[in-house]
Amino acid sequence: MKENKFIKFITSKYLILTVQLIATAIFIYFIFKLDLVPIKYLAPVTIVPCLLIIIFFFIMRSGQKRQKQGLHSKRLIITKIISLIMSIILMIGTAYAIRSNNFLDNVSDAKTQKYLISVITMKNNEANKLSDLDGKNFGVSYQNDSTTIAKAISDMEDEIGEQELTKYDDYSSLADALYNDKVDAIIVGQEYKSMLEANHESFDDDTKIIKSYEYDAKLSVTTKKTDVTEKPFTVYVTGIDTYGSVNTVARSDVNLIVTVNPKTKQILMTSIPRDCEIELNKNGEMDKLTHTGIYGTSETISTIEDFLDVQINYFARTNFSGMTNIVDALGGITVDSDYKFKTLHGNYQIEKGINEMDGDKALCFVRERYSLPNGDFDRGRNQQKVLKAMLDKAMSPKIITNFNNILSAIEGSFETDMSSKEIKSLLNMQLNDMADWSVYNVQVQGQGYKTTKTFSMWGTEVYVMKPDTKQVKKIKKLIDTVEQGGEINEDDIEGLGN
C-alpha cells in the first residue's frame, strides 16, 4: 500500500510539473546571467519553456479526468514522459550555461604573470630530486635578473641547506659550464632558454628539470579597451615557448596581430617572425622580437606598437601545453602543408598536402623552421594554417559532443585581458547576425643575417631578420584601412606573405 502511494507521488502531475518549473526557472536565470543569447532569441528561449508547462498542465488535468471516469489515457502518460525529458534537457542546458560562464570568467581579465625559475641538470646526471644535489656545485647568472633568482636560491636552500654557488657573467657561459661538467646544476629563469641554447641547440633534449619555483607578479600593459561590437580593435596573440602555466614569462615565439572590424566583418592577421629585428620600447636597443617576451608581455606589446604604428587593444596568449591540449580536445585537425619534411622535434614525417594531426604533431609542425626552405617565414605560414584548422574544427557541430573537454583544454592554456563582458558581447553579436567574416593573412618579410649585437644576447652570434621597410609600410597601410572602417581585398594583400 505504501509502495503504491510512493509510486503515485513520484508520477503525479504536480511533482513532475514542479520539477519542470524549477528546471525552467533555473535555466532562464542562468541564460540571462550568461548574457550570450541575442535579444531576438530570448523570447522563444524563455517563453516557450513556460508555455509548455501550462500546456502540459492542462493535458495532464484532462488525462486525470479521463482516468477518474475509468478511461485509459495514453496522452497523460506520454505528456508526463515528455515533461521529464524537457526537465532533463533544461538541466543539461543549465549545466552548459554555467560551464560557459565559468570558462569565460577564468580565461578573461588576465592581470598577472608568472616567473618560473628551474634547477636544471644534464639528463645523464644521477640526481632525480633536489635532495640528490645537496653538496653539489650550482651555477648561476644574474645577467638580467637578480631579485627572482635570489629568491629561488633562498627557497632552494630552505629545503636542502646552503650550497656552493659559482657565478657566470652570462647565460651562454652558464650553459657551457653545465655541459663541460664545471657545475652539476644551474639555476635559471625559463625566459632565458634561448640564451642557454646559443651554443647548445639541443639543450631541451640534453637536460632535465629537477625542481621549479614559480613567483607571481602584476601584469601592467598598454592595451586600450574599446567597444568591440561597434569599433575596430586589434588583438596581439602570442604563443610562448614553454609548457605549464600560460602566464609564465618566456620568449614570444608566435606573434600575430589580429585587426578586427566588427562592422565590415573583416579580419586582418599579421604575422611577425620571431627573429624579426626590432627596437626595444624600453631602451631603443636592437633585439629580436622573440626576446621581448623575456621582459614580459607589456614590453612585447609596446615594442610591436612602435614597430607597426598600431594601438593594441587586447592581448591573448597560449603556450605549448595549450596547443597540444586544444588540438587533442578537438579530436585532431587537418592541415594542408606546402612542403614535405621531417620535424626536428618529435621526428614526425609531414607530407606535402593533407596531413591529419594530433596535438603533439601539430605542435611540432608549427615549431619547425630548420627543415623548411624559407625558415621562419614558412613557420609563420604554418602557424596560420594550424590556427585556421583549429577554428574550422571548433566551429563544427561536433564541438557540442565534446564541449566540456574542449573548454577544459583551453582553460589554463589560454588567457586574455579582454573582459568576460566584452567576449560575450562579441559572441552575442555573431549569434545575432550569423555573419560571414573575411579573413586575410599577411606576414612581415625581410632578409636574414647573423649578428653579435642584439641587446639580449650581446656578443653571441644569432640569426636575425631585417624587415623589408617597404613591405612593412604596406602592411601598416592595410592595418590602418581596417581600423578606419575601409575594406580590403585579395589584390591589396598580394605579395605580402599571404
Kindly tell me the burial class for residue 301, based on how many C-beta atoms sit within 10 Å of its own C-beta (0-12, 13-18, 19 or more).
buried
**Which pLDDT score, from 0 to 100, does residue 1 have?**
47
Provide DSSP, 304-344: HHHHHT----EEEEEEHHHHHHHHHHTT-EEEEESS-EE-S
**Which pLDDT score, from 0 to 100, does residue 461 have?**
87
Cα separation, 362 vs 81, in Å, equals 46
pTM: 0.82
In this structure, what are the phi and psi dihedrals at residue 93, rounded to the nearest 5 degrees? -60, -40
Tell me the pLDDT of the chain averaged across its residues: 87
**Which pLDDT score, from 0 to 100, does residue 135 have?**
92
**Segment 246-270, tens digit of pLDDT:** 787 777 788 999 999 999 999 998 9
40 grid coordinates: 531576438
Q: How many helices (H) and strands (E) does the chain have?
A: 17, 19
How many CB atoms neighbour CB 316 within 10 A? 20
**Which pLDDT score, from 0 to 100, does residue 68 have?**
62
Q: What are the CA-CA distances from residue 461 to residues 48, 105, 472 (Å)?
A: 69, 44, 26
Q: Cell 644576447 sits at which residue?
A: 457
Non-local (6+) Cβ contacts of 44 within 8 A are: none
Residues in the chain where the model's pLDDT stays below 50: 1-2
**Which pLDDT score, from 0 to 100, does residue 395 have?**
67
**Segment 42-52, tens digit of pLDDT:** 888 889 999 99
Cα separation, 404 vs 264, in Å, equals 32
- Contact assessment for residue 350 and residue 342, using Cβ atoms and an 8 Å cutoff: yes
Non-local (6+) Cβ contacts of 95 within 8 A are: none
Burial 12-29 (b: 16+ CB within 10 A, else e): ebeebbebbeebbebbbe
